[in-house]
Amino acid sequence: MNTNHEIASLLPRELKNLVTIEYSKIADFHWFNLVSEKNESLISDRVFTGFDKDMKVAFSKAVSEMTERLSFNLGHKAKLRSCATQRSDGIAAYPIANDFALAAYNARENALNEAIERYAWATWWDQHQVKYKHEKYLLQDFCLEYKILKKLLIELDSILKIEFIHFIEPEILNSEKKLVIVIAEFNGGVVTGGACDDKGKLESILIRSFSELLRHALVLIQNKQKPIHLSDYENRLLYFASMAGKDTFYNRLSQKGTLEIDLPNLAVDEQIPSVKTHFVHRCLFQNQPPFIDENYERMCL
């Protein structure tokens, strides 16, 4: 897959002519953005991202992210119970290819992972009695520990001049899932990434976490160089990239709780109608806390 035509041919028929395809390579990872409406933001409801060492997988992830958003928007407009929220947390799309059952299983697993990620992350930040593991590394030590990320971290360091990497894992009661929050600390502040998956998939969790962190770092650089009208998401990123944000982060770390997060029952656990090429599923917990709101001092992003 080496030409724009070959890449574009992988778009589902329903999505053709709806997006501009942007591609770059960072370290040994391929990065695609599908842009449905040109704007100056790297993070918005109109930019859909895929990131992977395999170019085809990276593009497929970007297509899936766009499919998730379109499916949610249509479901919200149709007043489906599963889409009766303001944000699309806990929705995952997976390409069907030749195996519908596998796509259904993977979409549901990915949706559950995102629901847990956002529930556990928000709960850990908001409730200081929550127990968590915390490790703090010098950058070179982290690279030695997780060699698969070395090239990506060197790229990140060239952007941020990283001082420390923080590795945070909130404790989840009776769960085979692991949420990892990674924080790069630099002289002016901190920037985050995170992901959730099965406990045995730490490498995959870290790659997804740091790909998100890299995206956030690029947003910081863009907005510091050329301030524009900022979303709540971007304002929160910029707050934590400041000394005030770093102080808020360290204040949270000073609180050492003893209680594990007890995940409630799922309020939503069902398929969402979508394009024929993808299976889309949503998982959302009862009383799911907001992940992103107008309070920029909540490190949920």
pLDDT 10s digits, 54-76: 988 999 999 999 999 999 999 99
Cα torsion for 65, 68, 74, 80, to the nearest 10°?
-160
CA distance linking residue 130 with residue 154, whole number of Å: 33
pLDDT 10s digits, 120-146: 999 999 999 999 999 999 999 999 999
The pTM of the full predicted model, rounded to 2 decimals, is 0.91
pLDDT tier for residue 219 given thresholds of 50, 70 and 90: confident
pLDDT at 1: 47
Cα torsion for 20, 33, 221, 138, to the nearest 10°?
-170
Burial of 294 (0-12, 13-18, 19+ CB in 10 A): exposed
As a whole number, the mean pLDDT across the chain is 89
Residue showing tokens 């010098």: 138
Q: Is the pLDDT of residue 20 over 90?
A: no
Strand order in the sheet with 20-26: 20-26, 29-35, 47-52
User: Is the pLDDT higher at 11 or at 247?
Assistant: 247
Region 265-281 average pLDDT: 95
Planar angle of CA 88, 219, 149, nearest 5 degrees: 90
Region 210-222 average pLDDT: 86
Task: Name the E strands within the chain.
Answer: 20-26, 29-35, 47-52, 91-95, 132-138, 162-170, 177-186, 189-198, 266-272, 278-285
pLDDT at 9: 67
